[in-house]
Every structure is written in structure tokens, then in C-alpha cells.
């Protein structure tokens, strides 16, 4: 008994794990969940359709039996009237009993037929309802899966946009900017050091010397021009 209980618990545990696994798979693949639900409803529809067909067949059989019994009752009634008219009392008594039995049977068949007809109509209504639910579920599947795909596409786009962050690029550019500024500062420092050193002073001196020589040359040219002008005045 203990072993049976253990295996029963083990079976229930396995069913629980299987149910959780199926639920997880259906969450990951909702189209599978919809298909499972639709297939289940289709199976129920097929079973209900078969049962409905059985009810309709029974209704038709009862209707045929009642029609047959009604025809026989009509015939027995006619025979009874003839027997009464012809004073055949013994035959009339037999026909009366048969008529009563037929009337009871027809009444019973009528009640049973009405019940069978109601059951068939109810089954047909249920069948149409299940059929409508299947169509509705299929339309819902298409609509919901389309919404899911749209949402997933939006999420992928958002993730891609988030992955296109310029922060790393800006940081890399800041490093380049700092490097450029550092090199410019180094160049300025070298210039300042060169200006403050002997070479710089000598270069400045030579620059001044060039200016002095240029000015002296300019003064000489002006003096020569003035002398030439004065000599021309004397000759005139």
C-alpha cells in the first residue's frame, strides 16, 4: 500500500511538472496555446456533432414510428366503425382494445417525440454556439498574435535604439579633444621657452637688425633723391 501511495504521489508530481512545462511553453509560444485551445474545441465540436446527429436520428425514428402507429390507429378506427355498423360485436371488442392500445402508444410516442425534438434543437443550438466560438477564437488568435508580433517588433526597435547610445562615442571624442588641447599647450610652451632662451633673443635681435638696415637704406635713397633734385635746379 505504501508503494502504491508513493507511485501515486510520484505520478501527481510528474503531472504537475508536465503542466508547468506546458504552461511555460505556451507562454513562450502563444500561438501553440491558441492552437491547443482551438483543437480541443474542434474535438468537442466533432463529439457534439455526432451526438446531435444521434438525437436527430432518434427524432426521425420516433416520428416515423408515430406516423406508422397513427396510420394503423386510423385504420383500426375505420375497421371498428365498420364492425359496429355491421353488428360484429366480438370483432368490435377486439378492435376497441387494439384502438385503445394504439392511442396510448401514439400519445406516448408523441410525448417522446416532442422531448427528442427539443433535445435535438438544444443540441443544434449548442453545436452552432461551439462553431461560433471556434470562429471567434480563430479570429482572436490572428488578432492577438498580430498584436504580439507588433509589440515584439517595437521592443526590438527600442532595444536597438537604446543600444545606439552615443555616450561611448562622446567619451572617445573627449579623449581626442584633450589630446589636441594638450598638444596645443605643448606647442605654446615650446614657443614660450624658445622666446625666453638665447636663440629666441638672438632671433629677435636679428629681426631688429634687419629693421635698422632697412631704415638706413631708406634714408640713403631719400638723400640721393634730394641731391639729384637740387642738382637739377642749379642747372636750370
State pLDDT tens for residues 83-92.
999 999 899 9
Cell numbers that stand for 138 in this block: 480563430
Residue pair 194/200 in contact by the 8 Å Cβ criterion: yes
pLDDT of residue 133: 92
User: Using the 8-state DSSP alphabet, how is residue 87 labeled?
Assistant: T
pLDDT of residue 114: 93
pLDDT of residue 58: 92
pLDDT of residue 172: 66
User: Using the 8-state DSSP alphabet, how is residue 106 labeled?
Assistant: H
pLDDT below 70 — which residues of the chain?
1-28, 163-172, 189-190, 192-212, 235-236
* H or E element in which residue 103 lies: helix 89-163
pLDDT of residue 28: 66
Amino acid at each position: 500500500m505504501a508503494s502504491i501511495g508513493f507511485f501515486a504521489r510520484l505520478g501527481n508530481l510528474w503531472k504537475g511538472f508536465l503542466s508547468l512545462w506546458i504552461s511555460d511553453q505556451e507562454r513562450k509560444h502563444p500561438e501553440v496555446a491558441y492552437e491547443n485551445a482551438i483543437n480541443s474545441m474542434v474535438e468537442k465540436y466533432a463529439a457534439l456533432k455526432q451526438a446531435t446527429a444521434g438525437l436527430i436520428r432518434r427524432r426521425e425514428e420516433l416520428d416515423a414510428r408515430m406516423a406508422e402507429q397513427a396510420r394503423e390507429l386510423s385504420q383500426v378506427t375505420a375497421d371498428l366503425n365498420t364492425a359496429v355498423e355491421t353488428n360484429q360485436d366480438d370483432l368490435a371488442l377486439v378492435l376497441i382494445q387494439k384502438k385503445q392500445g394504439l392511442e396510448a402508444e401514439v400519445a406516448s410516442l408523441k410525448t417522446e417525440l416532442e422531448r427528442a425534438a427539443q433535445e435535438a434543437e438544444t443540441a443544434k443550438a449548442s453545436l452552432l454556439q461551439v462553431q461560433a466560438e471556434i470562429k471567434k477564437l480563430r479570429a482572436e488568435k490572428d488578432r492577438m498574435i498580430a498584436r504580439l508580433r507588433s509589440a515584439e517588433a517595437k521592443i526590438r526597435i527600442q532595444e536597438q535604439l537604446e543600444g545606439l547610445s552615443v555616450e561611448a562615442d562622446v567619451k572617445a571624442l573627449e579623449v581626442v579633444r584633450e589630446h589636441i588641447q594638450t598638444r596645443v599647450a605643448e606647442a605654446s610652451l615650446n614657443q614660450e621657452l624658445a622666446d625666453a632662451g638665447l636663440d629666441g633673443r638672438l632671433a629677435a635681435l636679428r629681426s631688429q637688425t634687419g629693421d635698422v638696415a632697412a631704415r638706413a637704406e631708406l634714408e640713403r635713397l631719400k638723400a640721393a633723391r634730394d641731391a639729384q633734385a637740387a642738382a637739377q635746379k642749379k642747372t636750370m
